Amino acid sequence: DSGVTQTPKHLITATGQRVTLRCSPRSGDLSVYWYQQSLDQGLQFLIHYYNGEERAKGNILERFSAQQFPDLHSELNLSSLELGDSALYFCASSAVAGGGTDTQYFGPGTRLTVL
């Protein structure tokens, strides 16, 4: 158990809908990262938050957004869903925002299926 929790574990929805994925980092970690794992794209970095502020964006679509709250949990919002958004979404956390020894620990993931 990494200490990172994600809810829900599974999510099934229809095209055009909007969903929210939730992540709670390990106790004491200030950084939260979101990744998408799909069969065709592999594991792709989406976005990084540190202590409530956005730090870096990766291959995140404009239909997707995220935020990190004062209690450090994070939410990833996916809207106008398309079939191609079906994937496993991982959250990871780390103590700080980088540096040689900073290590990212991953949650169990949320499997999103868009029908």
Q: C-beta of 44: minimal distance to another protein in Å?
A: 8
By CB under 8 A, name the binding residues for another protein.
Answer: 2, 31, 33, 35, 42-43, 45, 48, 55-56, 58, 90, 92, 94, 97-109
| Helix (H/G/I), strand (E/B), else coil: 29 | coil
Q: Output 73 or 111, the one with its CB closest to another protein.
A: 111
Tokens of 102: 């900073």
- Smallest gap from Cβ 15 to another protein, in A, equals 26
Q: What is the nearest approach in angstroms of another protein to the Cβ of residue 109?
A: 5
User: How far apart, in whole angstroms, are the C-alpha atoms of residue 63 and residue 114?
Assistant: 15
Residue 60 phi/psi, 5-degree rounding, is: -100, 130
Nearer to another protein, 78 or 94 (CB): 94
CB-based contacts of 52, cutoff 8 Å, min separation 6:
68, 69, 70, 72
